[in-house]
Amino acid sequence: MVKNQEESLLFFIYDRQQDRLDVLNNSNSYMIVNPNNLTAQAELLLTMAVNPKDKGIDKSKISQASKMIERAMQEDKFDGKNYYVKGIINELEEDNNKALANYEKSISLDPYTNLLAHIYYIRLLSNTGSKEKALQSSDFIINQYDDKTLRSKLGIRPYYAQLMSELLKTRAQLYFESGQKEKAINDLNRASAINPSDSTIEALKVTILTSN
């Protein structure tokens, strides 16, 4: 696993650890109400497997998560979420080809609403050198949501704010790396409007504006 890929993958897992804690503390959460949901439990194991302090990875939890998601995939071969979770496991096991294949399968089964699969897929493409394909993939999902549609969806499911913000930041970085600064700033402005509490958006904007 290349350094940028590792940092991107682990950072995003760290970012979701608090989400998992919030879920566990919510008596109405999907995970608590459905304790036999193998996919949700595998996701939880992945967030527990990574130590944010030293970037250590508990391989035993990764192994448990892998067995759990394999069972989930056997029970439901058409649930796109199972495949993106398997893709994350593949990345942690440093098998990028299998990870990409599982992300692609996840997206093919649920192309318009499985934003996490798109995020992981686009970041892995970018981190492994397929930046043009990553940009095309980010265009596909982001262009499904004009601002009016997005505001409507965010009003129903606020969690979309974080996910769409991540997608816009990722595409902004790709635009920046390809010399399209104006498009990059436009995406960051959209991301900030969607998720104003994310301080990394402004930091990336400053980086772009002050670059030569």
In the numeric block, which tokens belong to residue 48? 């527990």
Q: What is the pLDDT of residue 12?
A: 53
d(CA 151, CA 194): 8
197 pLDDT band, cuts 50/70/90, is confident
Ramachandran category for residue 202: left, alpha or beta (phi over 0 → left; psi -120 to 50 → alpha):
alpha
Q: What is the pLDDT of residue 25?
A: 40
Q: What is the pLDDT of residue 150?
A: 59
Q: What is the pLDDT of residue 96?
A: 93
Taking the model in full, what pTM does it have?
Answer: 0.80
Q: What are phi and psi of 154, to 5 degrees?
A: -65, -30
In the numeric block, which tokens belong to residue 179? 């010399």
34 pLDDT band, cuts 50/70/90, is low
Task: Write the pLDDT tens digit of every residue in 67-126.
Answer: 999 999 999 999 998 998 999 999 888 899 999 999 999 999 988 778 888 989 999 999
Task: Write the pLDDT tens digit of every residue in 111-170.
Answer: 877 888 898 999 999 989 999 999 999 998 888 776 666 556 555 456 677 788 889 999
